[in-house]
Amino acid sequence: MTVQLPFVQVLLPLLGAPLCALLRSRVAAWLLFLLAALGSLGCAVLLAQRVATAGTQRYSVGGWTAPVGIEFVIDDFNTPVLLLVSLIAAVVAVFSHRSLAAEVAAKRVPLVYACLCLVLAGMLGIAVTGDAFNAFVFLEIMSLASYALIAMGRRRRALLAAFRYLVVGSVGAVFVLIGIGLAYAVTGTLNMADLAQRLGGLHGNRALYAAVVFVLVGLAVKMAVFPLHAWLPDAYAQAPSAVGVLLSATATKVAIYALLRFAFTVFGATLVFGVMPVGRIGALLAVLAMLIGSAVACFQTDLKYLLAWSSIAQIGYIVAGISLATTAGVSAAYLHVINHAVTKAALFAAAGLLVLRLGSARLDDLAGFGRRMPWTFAAVVVAGLGLVGVPPTAGFVSKWALATALLERGQWPVLAAMLVSSLLALVYVGRIVEVGWFREPSLVTVMNRPPVSMVAAIWFLVLLSVYFGLDATLPSSLADAAAAALLRNGG
């Protein structure tokens, strides 16, 4: 039965979606999403163990061997993504029960869970597949479902946010498709391993260069790399809180995974970072993202927008690590993917709880919330320190790894930008503390007891981020193994 694990990983959430739509019951839909997420998590753990003991796992869908059919490939490089995505999904499932009930009209809830299942299936599918076109199909499933989820926000502006993301995201998806099409035209195959083999002898082919440009730019849109980030703040801030938690923690991260997969194992590091100036452009965009993202975050008046802008800066850190194209750089980027996902999920979840209890995430409305909700405030502060990168938080570990990797290559300007960005992070986290603790509570609202499930989800994420800061062996070993697998394949 363990042979079937790679497909069970994707099938569980994929099955959940039509069942949610069929049953049309809120509780059943929630249970289905929870079960799908927990099942995926179990699968991911089993797969990770199996990869660790028995090496790369391949699964031929339909019984057709690789280039003829589609294959799933599970190796050290994608198990961390599977673990991360399904873990966050499971936490979001716990969190969403009360959060969605409060923010989304009751009749819509089952279909919202169907979309959550679809987003999860899409993300897991992108991670497991070893076929370029299949990755695009899953990317489409993930994107389409997330547009729908974002549009479910409470305010009308959510519709505009979803529409803008739809337009920009579709352009990005089309770019990825054109790129894959060009690569197919010059090789005749869609299988990633086969592509890599055949593309190696094609350096100098202009269609191949164009394919690289299209795929990377298309995925950069999904990653929200600096000049292509405009869709992100509205999308994450206007989405229902539970959706915001899931997407902010995982959607961009899966796009980062896909970019690494294409850049290193399909096109090859020699082509992408040697022949083409992707590394230099990446470093420049990373610097801009870090500085501008953090600076804009300082001036936000809404907690969720503040967190979303901070995400743009944090993606800058990850891009900086990737553009080094060294084992240390990629490992640091991967580590930051994991740590930032957990930290940002905790913060968005806390913001979701504040929305539920205070009716808004505007900083003015949050005045003095720290004195009335000391535990939530503590969670925000601890996770916020993780964003800044104060030891002993997870953020410190990955930033330290990134700084070491940058120093190794003598990238002083990028390192300087990183330090400035961290100082700016201190400013915007400081603003939350100032608003939450030092301002007089401005309005008197009825304070219900916070739902236990939401509090548990928040504290699980916060404690996990602290644990990853104190004892970084698990994420570090995952990231190191992933980077080693990636650069070994990329050669």
Partner 1 sequence: MTAFVLVNISLFAILGATALAITRMRALYEATMLTALFSLVTGSLFVLLDAVDVAFTEAAVGVGISTVLLLGVLSLTRSREAVTPRRRRLPAALVVLFTGGTLGYAAQDLPPFGSATTPVRDHPVTETYLYQSQQDMGIPNTVTSVLASYRGLDTLGELVVVFTAGVTVLLLLGPLTRRNRPVKRDLVLADYRVLRVVSGVLMPFILLFALYVLFHGDYGAGGGFQAGVIFASGFVLYGLVFGLDRVQQVLPQRVLWVLIPLGLLLFMGLGVATVLLGGSFLDYDTLRPDDPAAGQRLGILLVETAIGLTVATVMTSVFFSFTGRGASR
Residues near partner 1, by CB under 8 A: 4, 7, 11, 14-15, 17-19, 21-22, 24, 59-64, 67-70, 105, 107-108, 111-112, 114-115, 118, 121, 125, 133-134, 137-138, 140-141, 144-145, 147-148, 151-152, 159, 171, 175, 178, 182, 184-189, 198, 205-211, 213-214
Closer residue to partner 1 (CB): 40 or 398:
40
> Residue 465 Cβ, how far from partner 1 at the closest point, in Å?
32
Measure the CA–CA gap between 80 and 74, rounded to whole angstroms: 10
- Tell me if 321 sits within 8 A of 407, measured CB to CB: no
Task: State which amino acid sits at residue 243.
Answer: V
- Which residue's CB is nearer to partner 1, number 27 or number 171? 171
Distance CA 193, CA 376 (A): 47
CB of 488 to partner 1, least distance (A): 26
* C-beta closer to partner 1: residue 160 or 427: 160
**Min. distance of Cβ 163 from partner 1 in angstroms?**
10
Residue with smaller CB distance to partner 1, 67 or 392: 67
Token pair belonging to 362: 């505007």
CB of 99 to partner 1, least distance (A): 17
Q: Closest approach of Cβ 112 to partner 1, in Å? A: 7
Nearer to partner 1, 141 or 426 (CB): 141
CB of 23 to partner 1, least distance (A): 9
For partner 1, the closer of residues 187 and 411 by Cβ is 187
CB of 122 to partner 1, least distance (A): 8
CB of 178 to partner 1, least distance (A): 7
CB of 147 to partner 1, least distance (A): 7
Question: Nearer Cβ to partner 1, position 108 or 441?
Answer: 108
Which CB atom, from 115 or from 424, has the smaller least distance to partner 1? 115
CA 78 – CA 129 distance, rounded (Å): 10
Q: Give 61 or 281: the residue with its C-beta nearer to partner 1.
A: 61
